[in-house]
């Protein structure tokens, strides 16, 4: 890998990518799209060599990318959903300048969770019962509680739109909360023991599955409110020290 150009926001996803490439000795340039850097991404020790651009909006990335495109063979990647959609919409152009995720093609429809479920079903996978819900509509009477709500398209909602509801009453309360998500997907909630993320890449010739991540969820009993403040301070210090 010659060089990476990252379009990222002010989150731990971006900070982790910058740190990983930096520790791997891979040259990188970050286009940081944010109004306020809450994660202190811009202060990473790997971003002190003129390889950082701080921008207020995604559209401001295009002239910077055009400027950077003079160097051949750079990989373009994103660390948040809105940036992935932005790149996908401009894939035909950006693929002429960089090694892009889809090489001149688009996968925009798969940002929609309903489309993801249909694709999974067509591949023979078992998918939880799901229904697309438009705010203000009547709830289906046959929902298999408990259910989980999510934005239909991640970039059009917030993490606060995700709710696990045991009853119809709890679901109505969750839907009444303030939100910018007009469309949600309501799914049967599956209480899983663990989660596996398959990691791979698809080319015109072959699909390579390079590995998988076995993810565990832990919520320790000692994490009670009186300890939460100490945990937040400790976590903040760890982030700063590891920049």
Q: Encoding tokens for residue 235? A: 């976590």
Per-residue confidence (pLDDT) for residue 240, from 0 to 100 = 46
Give domain 3-109's CATH number out of 3.40.50.720, 3.40.50.620, 3.30.465.10, 3.40.190.10.
3.40.50.720
Summarised one tens digit per residue, pLDDT across range 54-65 is 999 999 999 999
Summarised one tens digit per residue, pLDDT across range 224-243 is 444 444 444 444 444 444 55
Bigger pLDDT: 110 or 17?
17
| Least confident piece of the model among 25-29, 109-113, 148-152, 226-230 | 226-230
What mean pLDDT, rounded, does the chain reach?
A: 86
Specify the pTM. 0.77
| Least confident piece of the model among 14-18, 105-109, 228-232 | 228-232
Q: In the chain, where are the structural domains located? A: 3-109, 112-188, 195-241
b/e string for 180-189 if b means 16 or more Cβ within 10 A? Answer: ebebbbbbeb
Summarised one tens digit per residue, pLDDT across range 64-95 is 999 999 988 999 999 999 999 999 999 999 99
State the average pLDDT over residues 172-190.
91
The CATH architecture one would assign to domain 112-188 is: 2-Layer Sandwich (3.30)
């Amino acid at each position: 890998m010659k060089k990476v150009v990252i379009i990222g926001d002010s989150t731990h996803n971006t900070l982790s990518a910058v740190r990983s490439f930096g520790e791997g000795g891979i040259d990188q340039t970050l286009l940081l799209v944010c109004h306020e850097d809450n994660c202190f991404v811009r202060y990473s020790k790997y971003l002190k060599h003129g390889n950082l651009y701080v921008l207020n909006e995604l559209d401001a990335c295009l002239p910077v990318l055009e400027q950077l495109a003079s160097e051949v063979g750079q990989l373009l990647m994103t660390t948040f959903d809105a940036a992935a959609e932005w790149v996908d919409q401009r894939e035909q152009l950006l693929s002429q300048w960089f090694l892009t995720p889809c090489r001149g093609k688009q996968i925009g429809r798969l940002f929609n969770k309903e489309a993801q479920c249909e694709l999974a079903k067509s591949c023979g996978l078992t998918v939880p019962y799901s229904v697309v819900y438009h705010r203000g509509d009547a709830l289906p009477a046959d929902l298999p509680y408990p259910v989980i709500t999510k934005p239909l398209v991640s970039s059009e909602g917030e993490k606060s739109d995700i709710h696990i509801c045991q009853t119809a009453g709890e679901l109505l309360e969750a839907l009444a909360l303030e939100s910018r998500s007009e469309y949600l997907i309501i799914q049967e909630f599956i209480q899983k023991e663990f989660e596996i993320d398959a990691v791979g890449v698809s080319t015109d010739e072959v699909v390579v599955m390079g590995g998988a991540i076995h993810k565990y969820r832990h919520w320790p009993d000692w994490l009670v409110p009186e300890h939460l403040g100490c945990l937040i301070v400790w976590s903040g210090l760890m982030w700063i020290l590891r920049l």
